[in-house]
């Protein structure tokens, strides 16, 4: 079950955190993986996965720039002839209310978190229309509930859910499935960096506090999100499209 043998996968933001976990798991399950990431450290991630018998390639790419995405997709297609799976994971965060969010920050988040997904789907869907495929977008619980100081971030993640539903509807007759995942807090390098920057000397205390906001009592692990991603991108999930999956330790439904 959950084999991705002979599948070609593109994973954006695959150089760290959730994206890295997804790339590693997909490669383990037999997929040829292409990581698109702006951070050149993702090259080391690809090499690390290849050392574990995976087949993974790194492409430096700013997903907010359509010409870059187009060029890289064309180069992948020239070698692979097909793209079976697209995981739109690349994204950036921001802290602020509508008053404290600058126009520059709003546009910056939109360009990566919304336009970045559009750019990748715009280039990949015409390819998938020929033989079908799967698209998985990374949204957030912030699209479903109000989170303090996450105005711009919540806006972009709500857009991700909307785009997911639209694509699922428009391309269901082309055998293209499109779903999204909405995690709560997941322990990634971003979380550690956030705590170091905003709570120096209190990192452990604040980590515990943030962990306990999930009713399950802890943050998620990138590998747990990757497991759900694998299921949704596998043939075992062939009856699932147009869905937003919470993976949140009970945050949305159990926090009263």
Catalytic residues: 153
Asked whether 32 and 38 are in contact (CB, 8 A), the reply is no
Contact 241, 179 (CB under 8 A): yes
Task: Name the strands in the sheet holding 32-37, side by side, starting at the edge strand that comes first in the sequence.
Answer: 55-60, 32-37, 8-12, 85-88, 133-138, 176-183, 244-247
Cα gap 91→102, rounded to integer Å: 18
Asked if residue 170 lies in contact with residue 121, where contact means CB atoms within 8 angstroms, the answer is: no
Rg of the chain, C-alpha, whole Å: 18
- Helix axis angle, 115-128 relative to 103-113, nearest 10°? 20
């Amino acid at each position: 079950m959950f084999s991705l043998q002979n599948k070609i996968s593109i994973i954006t933001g695959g150089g760290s955190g959730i994206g890295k976990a997804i790339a590693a798991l997909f490669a383990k399950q037999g997929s040829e993986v292409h990581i698109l990431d702006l951070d050149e450290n993702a090259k080391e991630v690809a090499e690390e996965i290849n050392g574990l018998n995976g087949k993974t390639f790194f492409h430096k790419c700013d997903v907010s720039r359509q010409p870059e995405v187009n060029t890289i997709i064309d180069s992948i297609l020239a070698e692979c002839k097909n793209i079976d799976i697209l995981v739109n994971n690349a994204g950036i965060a921001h802290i602020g209310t509508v008053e404290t969010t600058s126009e520059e920050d709003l546009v910056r988040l939109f360009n990566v978190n919304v336009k970045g997904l559009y750019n990748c789907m715009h280039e990949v869907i015409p390819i998938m229309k020929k033989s079908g495929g799967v698209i998985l977008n990374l949204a957030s619980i912030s699209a479903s509930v109000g989170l303090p100081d996450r105005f711009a971030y919540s806006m972009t993640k709500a857009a991700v859910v909307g785009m997911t539903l639209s694509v699922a509807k428009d391309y269901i007759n082309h055998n293209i499935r499109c779903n999204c995942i909405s995690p709560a807090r997941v322990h990634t390098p971003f979380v550690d960096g956030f705590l170091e920057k905003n709570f120096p000397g209190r990192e452990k205390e604040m980590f515990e506090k943030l962990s306990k906001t999930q009713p399950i009592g802890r943050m998620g692990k990138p590998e747990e999100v990757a497991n759900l991603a694998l299921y949704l991108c596998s043939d075992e999930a062939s009856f699932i499209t147009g869905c937003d999956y919470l993976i949140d330790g009970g945050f949305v439904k159990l926090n009263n």
